[in-house]
Amino acid sequence: MIEQTQLEAVGTLQKVHGTRGEIYCALLSDLLFEADIDWLILQLNGTFVPFRLLAVRPKADGALLSLEDVDTAQKALQLCGCQVFVNKEDLPDDYQSTLSVDSLVGYEVVNEENRVLGKITDIDDSTLNLLVQLSSGLVFPWHEDFIIDLNESEHRIRVALPEGLLSL
């Protein structure tokens, strides 16, 4: 089973392009153009599913992707909205991770006293401020000033949230 800790976030599939199954992907970095990537991992209904990458070409601030067995607009439409990842093992040795807020889904969040507040289940970017949604139901705005420590190896974020923020 593929775990999120094994993956590097690449972007999000946003819309179908044409009738042959190409999909526009909003990219977080130029990784798909800088590395020789054969497989993409899509998050479908909470499960990570591998797809062979047949072709990638630049388009605006993203890329048009062709995936194996995705050869119609209808099949491509079913994948729109999916987050796209690559396996970290497929990355070049000299690749520098550019940790994005979206890649923090699954991280455990603790307060200053190391009390667990929950795991990040979603990052809501539909508002001006990014909102972090936790498995406990708590929601707080993402702001660098709130972060005490971000430990990538333990997938843990220690935060100092303003008094009363969690009780809103």
Tens digits of residue pLDDT in 43-94: 998 899 999 999 999 987 789 999 999 999 999 999 999 989 899 888 877 6
Is the pLDDT at 168 greater than 70? The verdict is: no
Give the strand order in the sheet containing 156-159.
Answer: 139-141, 131-134, 116-124, 108-110, 156-159, 147-151
pLDDT at 57: 92
- Name the band, by pLDDT with cuts 50, 70 and 90, for residue 167: low
Q: Are strands 83-87 and 62-67 parallel, antiparallel or unpaired?
A: unpaired
Residues in the chain: 168
pLDDT at 98: 55
Q: Which helix (H) or strand (E) holds 41?
A: strand 39-44
Q: How far apart are CA 88 and CA 86, in angstroms?
A: 6
- pLDDT tens-place string over residues 116-151: 999 999 888 777 778 889 999 999 888 878 888 877
Q: How far apart are CA 54 and CA 63, in angstroms?
A: 13
Q: Please state the pTM of the whole predicted model.
A: 0.59
Higher-pLDDT residue of 167 and 154 is: 154
Residue of 160, 164, 163 lying closest to 149 (CA atoms): 160
